[in-house]
Structure 1
Amino acid sequence: MYPLFNPNKAVLTPFLFFTGKGGVGKTSTACATAVSLADQGKKVLLVSTDPASNLQDVLDVELTNDPIAIPSVNNLFACNIDPEASAKTYRDKVVGPYRGKLPDSVLSTMEEQLSGACTVEIAAFDEFSHLLSDEDVLNQYDHVLFDTAPTGHTLRLLQLPTAWSGFLDESTHGASCLGPLSGLGEKKELYAKAVESLSNPEKTTLILVSRPDVSSLVEANRASSDLKDIGIQNQLLIINGLLQTHISKDKVSTAFFERQRNALNEIPDTLKDIATFSLPFVSYSLTGVDNLRNLFSHNPVTVMGNEAANKETIRLPGLSKVIDDFSSKNIRVIFTMGKGGVGKTSIASAIAVGLSEKGHRVHLTTTDPAAHLAYTFEGSVLRENLTISSINPEIEVEKYQQEVLSIAGEGLDEEALAYLKEDLESPCTEEIALFRAFADVVEKSENEIVVIDTAPTGHTLLLLDSTEAYHKEMSRSTGDVPESVKKLLPRLRNPAETGVVIVTLAEATPVLEAARLQEDLKRAQIDPKWWVINQSLYATDTIDPVLKGRARAEIEWIKKVKEELASKCAVIPWLHEEKIGYDSLKEFIDA
């Protein structure tokens, strides 16, 4: 369908940025590419700025902020830059001057406001910039590969003149999760040079990595368009994990193969204009140099593990136990949370159906723009005790932005207004806008169980957990703090009232990101009740050698969830078909 990607044959620029949604295989693809280029005799530096990076696990070597030689690969050097540590330094620099001058509650709010994804990304970009702008790096290495690329939002902010003025020090609009960038004013020239290098097609290639599924293709398309808009035109797309063949008598193998092909038939039109390659779905875990080299050999390798591992059995309950637990304890608010593409919407829908079947009145809602509950329940007659709705992020964010602009935008000059508008495009702005909508929906829990697909993060909850923050983020638009908002956080923290379900896959990145999410929630004094491992090949009876090999690779991550991360854990096998409709969703419960 697409030619296989091979770095030996591709014409690659000095800088290679790998980007894509979590779990698509950015790190393994970047590592395999780095090993292949080094094997050709090229001197290569591999850099990760992902806070949840598993780069050292893939290369099987301890890494630090400083590049070290990889013992098993001549010419390959790697470093694992910690943007969280860089973000802490940035926070200290921003907040430091106010210590002893402002109340502790205000300082706490400032620190939490600077704990969001945008601040971490600015800190990561600081690290990118040194490497992109340092001529010694280009002289020392033939290729520098970055595992994780900066987003279009961050790059656009850095291109706006107002970002480097004192505007944020003086502004009271409060929407920024970046803080006063003027604190890094001395780096303006460095950042400008870095952005220029990113836009130079002779220096930089953006490699979009996607799985052959709808959600990751949509994310790749968004990233592609967003980065093209700020000048990064040199792009290529890698469809990772494409099952090459299937066994017709194996229902799992056949369904897996057909579902991937159906997703690729729906690939967004703008991605069709980008040079596209594929990488095969392999039976082995992409860790260790030998396995990384196998990826580009394109020779079928089946790794079934040792005999003891093959006989190992891990027993976990199914989703029915989760539903029984919530029903017996009369939990009133249930959130499903996790990274994109793990199946939160399906799990939330199945939980709602299961509780409805037990006679509870249930309201199901979502804020995920890609999760169409109307589609999930298409063609089915809802039971009278189940209702569904959707919180539209675009509508909520636009309403919130207009409210802020009407108040904070008055009297600003053109540059300051441009900055304010771009700042209001940040992920944190969306969370704050949706927070109010959540509060209204959760109010329904006094009369029915509310199941919500996709919830506010611990960062957002902490950001709003003070009188000052509530007033700053809410009352500026509404004139006062709604009663539903005041009651929301105490309600979410009450384990007798609220249950959080973390949904993951039995793979490295989804589990590591889910672990970070859980820590974030615990900081906000919310303790998830259940983890659900979704789409598990280990829990199927597949006989396909490739899928069976991958099932063995899941054991490590199932054990980590069961033994280290979750107080209660359930598993759902990889199901042969997408579950559409009320009765079909019940199959999740019985799986």
Structure 2
Amino acid sequence: MYQSFNPKINVETPFLFFTGKGGVGKTSVACATAVSLADQGKKVLLVSTDPASNLQDVFEMELTNDPVSVPSVDNLFALNIDPEESARIYREKTVGPYRGKLPDSVVATMEEQLSGACTVEIAAFDEFSHLLSDESILNTYDHVVFDTAPTGHTLRLLELPTAWNGFLEESTHGASCLGPLSGLGDKKRAYAEAVQSLSDQEKTTLVLVSRPDQSSLIEANRASSELRDIGIQNQMLIVNGLLQTYQPDDEVSTAFYMRQRNALKVMPDELKEVETFMLPYVSYSLTGIGNLRQWVSDDPLLESALNESSIDTEKIQLPKLNSIIDDFSSKGTRVIFTMGKGGVGKTSIASSIAVGLSEKGHKVHLTTTDPAANLAYMFHDEGTMKENLSISSIDPTEEVEKYKQEVLSTVGKEQDEEGLAYLKEDLESPCTEEIAMFQAFAEVVERSDDEIVVIDTAPTGHTLLLLDSTEAYHKEMSRSTGEVPTSVKKLLPRLRNPKETGVVIVTLAEATPVLEASRLQEDLGRAQIVPTWWVINQSLYATGTTDPVLKGRAVSEKQWIRKVNEKLSHQCALIPWMHEEKIGYNNLKEMINA
């Protein structure tokens, strides 16, 4: 159907960007590409700009902001741009020179101005633009491979050069939510060079990674179009995880194969114009150097047969999704989150929980804070929905405009001409979007006074940013608007109250999603939020498949199912891989008892 992706043949530019919907395998593809290029004798730097990076899981090593050599792969170096660490360094670089020279109160104000989300964004981008614009990088490395964040974050990251350049050029007061702008003036040239590198077809290739399923192909098409609009024309598509053959006597194998092929038949026409390659679905885990090498080799499916005598035959029995719904219904839980790594099925689980509670007679509101929201896709058959279930999404564009008007109509009335000009300028900062989204998030949680609110949250990094920022935004709103809405004041206590709030961590029975979910649980613990349930979704183990490739993957799932059930969760449900994607109210009802 498609030619296999081979880095030896298909990579022609020094800069490679891997992007796509969360969970499509960007990190695996980026790592396998980097290893293959290094094995050819090329000197390669592999970079993650994802706040929820899992490079360290794939290579089984710790990474920092500085390049480190990857053991057992000559010529390969890797680094992880940690946004929080970058922000700390950036903040100190900006404020440090003024310590002892300006009053402590002034220095404290500067630090306060540099404590927001914008500083995290701009600090990470400082390092990102450095890698694109520094000639010494090109002189040192033959290739720089970027394992980028899920699509929404990637688009924001790649749009930053234009956004920040415009913001810096239009700013005249020397201060904003970014703090003193004098420290940023020398960055304009680097940003301009970064934009130029991104748009240069001789330097940069954008690699769109997608699973062979409808939702991720639609997302890849959206990313392709938006990135083309900001000047990134040199693109290729990799369809990742394509099952090569199927067993006619195995219903799961047949359905798996046909579902993938049917999704590819209805791929958006614009995406069909992009040069397309594929990588096969394999039975082995895509961690460790050996497996990565084999995956992009001439014979990726070559492996030893399953040793049936060594397979653990003890059957694992776990509750289904209906147990979670019964639990929340009986306890009277008012706010329910689904959280986890991108691509694990949070939207499907959130939608099914909402439908299940609605079927029990509860009044339910289902919403999303995910910038790549697809609830509309999940409920295209709204005619079959019950009256006691409503759905919405928090739209960034609408919320930003609403927030700007709110600030200007309150604080703006008290300003003179110069003060009003400064206020309008401050509202053009990119972090206005974060503040606006947070306020909208607080308002939708407030609805739980009258109905159960089920929230399909964004991928892990964004979710934690949203939750961890509660107290910071509490201060920011007070500074910007002069008052803090009641919904914001009540939010954090409500999130921390297990009698009101239930958190469902969703994962797959694979190394990276489980390790990522484990880190999420630890971070939630530091925020004094304790998950109620874990869900292991899309399990091949739970289907009983006999297909050799699918069974190989199913056998490897058991260790991760046990880890979640015995070590990580208090309560755990297991959901099998479905023969068809559950779209629409009635189909989601079927998923509840699967």
Q: TM-score, normalized by length of structure 2?
A: 0.83
Give RMSD over aligned pairs.
3.8
Change over 3 Å in CA distance of 1:71–1:519 after alignment to 2:
closer
Change over 3 Å in CA distance of 1:269–1:323 after alignment to 2: same
Q: Matched residues in 1 for 2:471 and 2:423: separation?
A: 28
1:332–1:497 Cα contact (<8 Å) kept: yes
1:147–1:572 Cα change, 3 Å = same
- Verify the 8 A CA contact 1:22 1:509 in the aligned structure 2: no
C-alpha distance in 2, partners of 1:470/1:524? 20
1:431 to 427, 433, 437: 437
2 CA distance for matches of 1:128 and 1:434?
A: 30
Are 2:561 and 1:558 equivalent residues in the alignment? yes
Q: 1:322 to 1:268 in 2, by over 3 A?
A: same
CA distance in 2, matches of 1:373, 1:270: 19
Q: Distance in 2 between matches of 1:213 and 1:318?
A: 24
Amino acid at match of 2:502: G
Quick one: distance in 2 between partners of 1:436 and 1:284?
Answer: 43
Q: Is the Cα–Cα contact under 8 Å of residues 157 and 422 in structure 1 kept in the other structure?
A: no
Asked if the contact 2:83–2:123 (Cα under 8 Å) also holds between the matched residues in 1, the reply is yes
Contact preservation (8 Å) 1:334, 1:450: yes
Native 8 Å contact 1:396 1:434 kept in 2? no
Q: 1:333 aligns with which of 332, 335, 340?
A: 335
Is 1:529 paired with 2:532? yes
User: Which deviates more, 532-541 or 212-221?
Assistant: 212-221
Aligned partner of 2:356 in structure 1 is 354
What is the CA–CA distance in structure 2 between the aligned matches of 1:416 and 1:304, rounded to whole Å?
A: 67
Displacement of 1:528: 2.0
- What secondary structure sits across from 1:77 in the alignment? strand
Partner of 1:223: 223
Shift of the alpha carbon at 1:435? 1.9
Could you say which residue in structure 2 is the equivalent of 1:300? 301
Paired position in structure 1 for 2:37: 37
Asked if 2 retains the 8 angstrom alpha-carbon contact of 1:304 and 1:552, the reply is no
Pairwise mapping of residues 179-578 of structure 1 onto structure 2 (< 5 A)?
A: 182-296=182-296, 297-302=298-303, 307-311=309-313, 313-358=315-360, 360-367=361-368, 369-372=373-376, 375=379, 378=382, 380=384, 382=386, 386-391=388-393, 393=395, 396-397=398-399, 399-400=401-402, 403=405, 420-421=427-428, 423=430, 426=433, 428-429=434-435, 431-445=437-451, 449-454=452-457, 457-465=463-471, 468-472=475-479, 475=481, 481-578=484-581
- Whichever residue aligns with residue 89 of structure 1, its letter is I
Q: CA deviation at 1:570?
A: 1.4
Contact 1:18 1:30 in 2 (8 A): yes
Question: In the superposition, relative to structure 1, how do residues 258 and 64 fare at CA in structure 2: closer, same or farther (>3 Å)?
Answer: same
The 1:331–1:68 alpha-carbon spacing in structure 2 relative to 1, beyond 3 Å, is: closer
TM-fit CA distance, 1:206: 1.5
**Structure-2 change in CA distance of 1:74 and 1:93 (3 Å):** closer
Deviations 1:292-332 (A, max 9, x none): 22212244235666654543544432222222322332222
Q: Deviation of residue 124 (structure 1)?
A: 3.2
Q: Secondary structure at the match of 1:22?
A: coil
User: Deviation string for 1:243-295 (max 9, x for gaps)?
Assistant: 12222221211222222223223323332232111111111111222222221
Cα distance in 1 for partners of 2:204, 2:324 equals 48
Determine helix, strand or coil for the equivalent of 1:261. helix
Q: For structure 1, which segment, 317-326 or 198-207, has the greater mean C-alpha deviation from structure 2 after superposition?
A: 317-326
Unaligned runs of 5+ in 2: none
Q: Is the 8 A contact 1:32 1:295 kept in 2?
A: yes
C-alpha separation between the residues in 1 aligned to 2:423 and 2:491?
34
Per the alignment, do residues 498 and 70 of structure 1 end up closer, same or farther by CA in structure 2, a change over 3 Å counting? closer
Query: C-alpha displacement at 1:418, in angstroms?
Result: 8.6
Q: State the AA in 1 paired with 2:399.
A: V
Distance 1:580 1:256 in 2: 16
Moved more, 42-51 or 545-554: 42-51
Say if 2:347 and 2:374, in contact at 8 Å, map to a contact too.
no
Counterparts of 2:11 and 2:324, CA distance in 1: 51
3-state SS of paired residue (1:241): strand
Contact map agreement 1:46 1:146 (CA 8 A) in 2 = yes
Give the direction of change, closer, same or farther, for the CA distance of 1:185–1:234 in structure 2 (3 Å limit): same
Distance 1:234 1:374, change over 3 A: closer
The amino acid across from 2:239 in the alignment is: I
Q: Whole-Å Cα distance in 2 between the matches of residues 70 and 468 of structure 1?
A: 43
TM-aligned CA distance change 1:498 to 1:55, over 3 Å: closer
Residue 497 of structure 1: CA displacement? 1.5
Aligned match of 2:145: 145
Residue deviations 1:427-469 (CA, integer Å, cap 9, x gap): x256225325414532323xxx333333793433443437533
Distance 1:163 1:219, change over 3 A: same
**Match of 2:498, SS?**
coil
Structure 1 residue runs without a partner (length 5+):
none
SS at match of 1:245: coil
The code of the aligned residue for 1:569 comes to C
Give the AA of the match of 1:242: L
For residue 16 of structure 1, report the CA deviation from its aligned partner: 1.4
Inter-CA distance 143–65: structure 2 relative to 1 (3 Å threshold): same
State the SS of the aligned residue for 1:78.
Answer: strand
Matches of 2:569 and 2:502, distance apart in 1: 13
The number of residue pairs the alignment matches comes to: 572
**2: CA distance between counterparts of 1:226 and 1:577?**
29
Moved more, 284-293 or 217-226: 217-226
User: Cα–Cα, structure 1 residues 79 and 521, in superposed 2: closer, same or farther, change >3 Å?
Assistant: closer
Q: Secondary structure at the match of 2:124?
A: helix
User: CA 1:303–1:528 in structure 2 vs 1: closer, same or farther (change >3 Å)?
Assistant: farther
Q: In 1, Cα distance between the equivalents of 2:320 and 2:172?
A: 50
Secondary structure of the residue aligned to 2:9 is coil
Superimposed CA distance per residue, residues 388-413 of structure 1 (whole angstroms, 9 cap, x where no aligned partner): 23245267426425526855898799
Q: CA deviation at 1:496?
A: 1.0
% identical equivalent positions: 59
Report the Cα distance in structure 2 between the residues aligned to 1:302 and 1:510, rounded to whole angstroms. 24
Matches of 2:61 and 2:454, distance apart in 1 = 43
Return the alpha-carbon distance in structure 2 between the equivalents of residues 515 and 3 of structure 1: 37
